[in-house]
Each structure stands twice: as C-alpha cells, then as structure tokens.
Amino acid sequence: MENIKNKVTALFGRISPVINKIGENKYLQTISTTMMATLGPVMVGSVAVLLLAFPIQAVKDFLLKTGITPILAVVNSVTIGALALYVTVLIARNLVNRMLPDEDGSMAGALSLMCFLIITPLSKTADGTGAIPTTWLGAQGVFTAMIVGLLVGRIFVIFRQHNWTIKMPDSVPPMVTKTFDSLLPCFTVGFLFIIVNRIFVATPFGSLHQCIYSIIQKPIQGIGGTLPATILTSFLMQILWFFGIHGTNIVSPIVTPFRLALDTENMTALAAGMPLPNIVGNGFFSIVCWGGSALGLVFWMLRSKSEQYRQLGKVAFIPALFGITEPVIFGTPLVFNFDFFIPFVTNNSINLCIAYFLTKIGIVARCSGVQPIFGLPLGFHAMVGGSFSIILLQLFLQLIVSPILWYPWFKRAEKKALLRERQEKA
C-alpha cells in the first residue's frame, strides 16, 4: 500500500508543474476573473427574475398593480439578457490589464464591444426602424463574446508591445495623443471583423454567432450539462485539491461559462413561466457541493475521542457552517492524506449523483439558475434555488449523507490518532 502511495505521489509530482502552468495561463485567468466580475449584473437580474416568478400570487399582483413588473422585465433583459455584452468588454479589458499592467484596458474593452456588435445581425421593427435583436446578447452569445474579447485583447496587446501607433508631435496634449494611440488597433480589428462578418453572412450559418453556437457552444453545453461530465469535473477538482493544487481555480474557468449559460437558460424560462430546461448548472453544482461536503467530517471530529480531532472540530465547526472548510482541509490535513483520499475525492461526486436523480424523478425541483452567494450558512445558501425542496436537499446531503460517507474513514484515522496520542503520553 505504501509503495502505491509513493508511486502516485511521484507521478503527481511530475505532472504538477504542468497543471500549475495551466492554472497560471493568462487566458484562463482572464476568463475566470471575467466570469466572477459578471456576477454583479447576474445577481441583479436574478433578483428581478425571482420577483417576476414569485410563488405567492399576492406578491405578483402587488408588483403588477404598482407597475414594477414591466421594470423588472427590463432589468432582466439588460442584465442576464445582455450577459454577452458584459463578457466581451471585460474579457478584452482584463486580458490587456493582465498582460500589460500599465494599461487599464478600457479602450480594448470598447473595441471588443464594437467588434461584437459588428458581427451581430441586425433586424428591423414593424415600422422599419433598425434594431439589435436580443438573441445573441444573452446566454447564446457568451462563447462568441469570449472569443471576440480574447482576440481583440490580444491584438491590442500586440500593437502596444510593438509600439505601432500614430506618432503625434510633443506639443499635442496627452489626452489627444492617447486617442490617436488607439486608432491603428481600432481600424485593424474593425476591418478584420467586417471581413469576418461578410464571410459568415455568405455561409449557411448567416453569422459568426450562429456558427459558434451550433458547432461549439451548444454541443459543449449539452455535454457539460450531463451527469457524467459534472462528476468528472468534481473528480478533477478534488484530485487537484488532494495534491495541494487549487482545483477550483484550475477547472472553473473552463466549465463556468457553459454552466452559467445553462443557468441563464433556466432563469429565462423561469421569467417566462415555462418549465426549467436544465438540471445541471453552476447553481446546482454550488448548492450540492457546498463546503466540499466536509461538514460531516467536522461533526465526527466534535464527537471524537482523539484530542487532536476534537480540538480541530471546535475550531472548524463555525466556519464549516458557512461553507468555509479550509481549516479542516489544511488542519486535518486532507491534502496528501491517503487515509482520507477516497472520501475527499469522491464525496462530492456521490452527492451530485444523489441530487441529480432526485431532481430527475421530480422529488426535488430544478434550480432556478440564480447564483448562490458564497459565505451564506447551510440552508440559506440554497434558498436562491427557488424551491423549499432544494433547501431540504442541501440539508439532507450535508447533515445525513455526508456524515455517513465520512464515518468509516474517520474511525480508521481516529484509531491511528488515539494510538499516537497514547504513545506520546507514555
């Protein structure tokens, strides 16, 4: 057994530099930062959606009578319904800021928005007025927004690094000089996306948006919304955590955009009074895997005969009730501790399976898509799911299933700790 542990540790020691390099990738870091930054507008839109679909008819009647309902619909449209606009601006801005710390990236963000709108098909209202349809401004356009933002941001960085600018005399005010500095990248990316738009208009897709959505985003969302893909994501995160690598930071930038798009589809359906289409999403994953399912381990520590575990349980209990489990992860420790390898890596996946099937057969409602707020205590964290059954699900998983899953492994580790403590006292 010890030989196997050594081999696994050595293997991970060889590949961990590669994994760390992936985690430090500027493009993945940019995507992660951007998706976190969009949570503000998403949360505002989520509250609007929850009020629009509030389960108490008296509240709905009050909102309608006071004229608030139409306002909430507008708020939903300009937040969740315009998510791609926020993403394309922030992606370009954050990439430039990450690669060129002296640049604030605002101009790159503006150029990215311009390019995104250039490739967005226009339509006309009934009276012939030009209009931008909302089809590609929300969840369906998020992946295109990411590609446009990364491409525009990278081009902007290249121009800055090579100092390709229109030179102005020293007598020209700095504000005017700064404006001219951005003209070359502006014309370059503008001309590039005009050509791209013209090419895709001539294809059966009709636009770059439709091409990316049909070929890339929709298939990946379809795969990402399945139970096997969700379990794989959880498994990879926990494996990385076990070996001391922040698995959430490595995996989340890759999967969050697609899960967020699934959540957005649910919120759109909720606002329209239609059945929610997706079980899996960012909200579902966060609610089910709350606190890394480590609260059950803390409960056993509080009742432990081992002085070490009992004291750690007292320290970790309050943070664990709020989903903060770093004290137990690094205090036990769970990292590089093969006594807890199996539960630490698999408990989230088991909980995901239970939650998925309970939702699939209709015992538990589908999550609304509203993003849970980190740091809220057990139960309250799940309230944004939109149903009391989702709160009960989180309580069931964390207070019943989690302790059961941790029990045999904890008792085994407790025996070792008691033996060690007796030897130290002798």
* Residues in a beta bridge with 131: 123
Provide the pLDDT confidence category of residue 134 given band limits of 50, 70 and 90: confident
Q: What angle is formed at CA 288 by the lines to CA 286 and CA 290, rounded to 5 degrees?
A: 60
Provide the pLDDT confidence category of residue 393 given band limits of 50, 70 and 90: very high
Look up residue 231 and give its amino acid.
Answer: I
**Weakest-pLDDT range from 161-175, 251-265, 270-284:** 161-175
Provide the pLDDT confidence category of residue 6 given band limits of 50, 70 and 90: low
Provide the pLDDT confidence category of residue 157 given band limits of 50, 70 and 90: very high
Given a cut of 80, whether residue 253 has pLDDT beyond it is no
**Biggest alpha carbon–alpha carbon distance for the chain:** 91
Q: Are 382 and 290 in contact (CB under 8 A)?
A: yes
Given a cut of 90, whether residue 268 has pLDDT beyond it is no
Residue matched to tokens 């699934």: 262
Three-state SS sequence of the chain: CHHHHHHHHHHHHHHHHHHHHHHCCHHHHHHHHHHHHCHHHHHHHHHHHHHHCCCCHHHHHHHHHCCHHHHHHHHHHHCHHHHHHHHHHHHHHHHHHHHCCCCCCHHHHHHHHHHHHHCCCCEECCCCCEECCHHHCCHHHHHHHHHHHHHHHHHHHHHHHCCCCCCCCCCCCHHHHHHHHCHHHHHHHHHHHHHHHHHHHCCCCCCHHHHHHHHHHHHHHHHHCCHHHHHHHHHHHHHHHHCCCCHHHHHHHHHHHHHHHHHHHHHHHHHCCCCCCCCCCHHHHHHHCHHHHCHHHHHHHHCCCCHHHHHHHHHHHHHHHCCCCHHHHHHCCCCCCHHHHHHHHHHHHHHHHHHHHHHHCCCCCCCCCCCCCCCCCCCHHHHHHCCHHHHHHHHHHHHHHHHHHHHHHHHHHHHHHHHHHHHHHC
d(CA 344, CA 145): 36
Structure confidence by residue, pLDDT tens digits, 32-90: 888 888 878 888 888 888 787 776 778 778 888 888 888 888 888 888 888 899 999 99
d(CA 426, CA 420): 10
- Report CA torsion sign: 219, 220, 223, 225: negative
d(CA 304, CA 416): 12
Domain limits of the chain?
2-223, 282-425
Task: Establish how many alpha carbons lie within 13 A of residue 328's alpha carbon, considering only the half-sphere containing its beta carbon.
Answer: 28
> Quick one: which of 278, 228, 276 has its CA closest to 258?
278
pLDDT of residue 175: 63
Structure confidence by residue, pLDDT tens digits, 190-224: 999 999 999 999 988 888 989 988 888 888 777 77
Q: What is the mean pLDDT of residues 342-350?
A: 93
Structure confidence by residue, pLDDT tens digits, 395-418: 999 999 999 999 999 999 899 888
d(CA 299, CA 321): 11
Q: Are 68 and 122 in contact (CB under 8 A)?
A: no
pLDDT of residue 13: 62
d(CA 57, CA 91): 40
Higher pLDDT, 22 or 342: 342
pLDDT of residue 194: 94
Q: Are 266 and 76 in contact (CB under 8 A)?
A: no
pLDDT of residue 198: 92
Given a cut of 90, whether residue 118 has pLDDT beyond it is yes
pLDDT of residue 22: 67
CA distances from 419 to 58, 308, 331, 423, 424 (A): 63, 12, 19, 6, 9
